[in-house]
Amino acid sequence: MRLKIGTKIGIVFIILLMLMVLHAILDYITARQYEYYIHEIEEEIEEIDLIKRLQFTLAQVVMPANDFLILGGDPNEPKNLKTLSAKVENIIKKLAKLEFDRPEEREIFNHIKKEYQQVKDIALKIFSIPNPVGNPKAGQLMEEMDKIANDAVMDVEEFHQFAHQEIEEALTSWKKTESLLNAVHYFTISFSFLLIIGSLVFFIRTISLPINSMKNTAVEFSQGNFDKRVEVTTKDEIGYLANAFNSMGTELKSSYKELKKEITERKKLGEELKKKMHKLERFHGVVVGRELKMKELKNRIKELEEQLKERKYKLNG
């Protein structure tokens, strides 16, 4: 298949452009993945912070009811429970707005909310008992409340472990994604570098070397060596030009042979003309010599005739 030089350059340019676009897409994906994992980690950190606060507050929420029994019905303890309950409910409300990646997290979270509500309800029952100190029912409720609260704290700890695992998984996924994207980046950069080097070598072999070969061939032609030929390695414009150059060499060689033959023939004809001129010159010399001799002979005859007349005149006189 014959491809023009412009087409070849266009193909290389398109490949480089595609690699640049691919590199830009990978950069965009990397940035998006980075933002996603950063958001995930930040959310998990916020979740862990809320879980720690929930765990600490749940451990405190039983204290007003316990103090109410121990101290003999302090009227300020219900207020303390209300304050602590508001903190717990605020934390639970914030946690409910977060997205849980695992169904188990949502299940534990709902269980913790249920346990908290049970603790709160039992505490309110304790506050409603008159003279709670030494009351068997109040002591039974306190034990039940403490048990549920301890279970809730343990559930919160398990909830906390889930959050830590999600952070580790997010970091691991980010590192894998980063390694993969880095590998693809290195591949595209390496491939681009190799493509540029290959393109340079290709164009040197298909353009620069043939043009240099044609220049050297032209020098050989100028020195009369018409047997020199340009090696044709491509079928593009350079190859067409090389073929035309070789055809020109063949025509020059043929023309040179014909010219040389004509010069030889003219030289031979000149020698023959020279010989004929020499013969003509000799013939001319002979003719001129004869004319001179005839002229001398006529003059001699004329002199003799005059002498003869003089003698006749003397004899007659």
What is residue 3's predicted lDDT score, i.e. its pLDDT? 60
Among 3-7, 36-40, 85-89, 199-203, the least confident range: 3-7
pLDDT in tens, 116-162: 999 999 989 888 887 777 788 888 988 998 999 999 889 888 888 88
DSSP for 101-127 reads SSHHHHHHHHHHHHHHHHHHHHHHHHH
Average pLDDT, the chain: 79
Q: How confident is the model at residue 114 (pLDDT cuts 50, 70, 90)?
A: very high
Once rounded to an integer, what is the mean pLDDT over residues 97-118?
Answer: 87
Count of structural domains, the chain: 1
In a domain, 312, yes or no: no
In a domain, 58, yes or no: yes
Q: Above pLDDT 70, what percent of the chain?
A: 87
What is residue 83's predicted lDDT score, i.e. its pLDDT? 93
Which has the higher per-residue pLDDT, 280 or 62? 62
Q: Above pLDDT 90, what percent of the chain?
A: 10
What is residue 89's predicted lDDT score, i.e. its pLDDT? 92
What is residue 168's predicted lDDT score, i.e. its pLDDT? 85
What is residue 86's predicted lDDT score, i.e. its pLDDT? 93
Q: Of 13-17, 30-34, 81-85, which one has max mean pLDDT?
A: 81-85
Q: How confident is the model at residue 28 (pLDDT cuts 50, 70, 90)?
A: confident
What is residue 184's predicted lDDT score, i.e. its pLDDT? 75
In a domain, 109, yes or no: yes
User: How many angstroms separate the CA atoms of 35 and 47, rounded?
Assistant: 18
| Residue the block writes with tokens 């298909």 | 206
Of the candidates 126, 2, 26, the one whose C-alpha atom is nearest the C-alpha of residue 68 is 126
In a domain, 206, yes or no: no
Q: How confident is the model at residue 199 (pLDDT cuts 50, 70, 90)?
A: confident
Residue 70 has pLDDT above 90, yes or no: no
Q: Which two tokens stand for residue 37?
A: 């994992």
In a domain, 46, yes or no: yes
What is residue 4's predicted lDDT score, i.e. its pLDDT? 66
CATH number, position 143: 1.20.120.1730
In a domain, 276, yes or no: no
Residue 79 has pLDDT above 60, yes or no: yes
User: How many angstroms separate the CA atoms of 111 and 160, rounded?
Assistant: 14
What is residue 111's predicted lDDT score, i.e. its pLDDT? 92
* Farthest CA pair distance, the chain: 223
Cα 308 to Cα 302, 305, 314: the distances in Å are 10, 5, 10
User: How many angstroms separate the CA atoms of 219 and 10, rounded?
Assistant: 33
User: How many angstroms separate the CA atoms of 203 and 260, rounded?
Assistant: 41
pLDDT in tens, 226-282: 777 777 666 666 666 777 767 777 777 777 777 777 788 778 777 777 777 777 677
Once rounded to an integer, what is the mean pLDDT over residues 7-20?
Answer: 76
Domain span including residue 76: 5-201
In a domain, 150, yes or no: yes
In a domain, 284, yes or no: no
What is residue 257's predicted lDDT score, i.e. its pLDDT? 75
Q: Of 159-163, 206-210, 298-302, 306-310, which one has max mean pLDDT?
A: 159-163
Once rounded to an integer, what is the mean pLDDT over residues 60-76?
Answer: 82
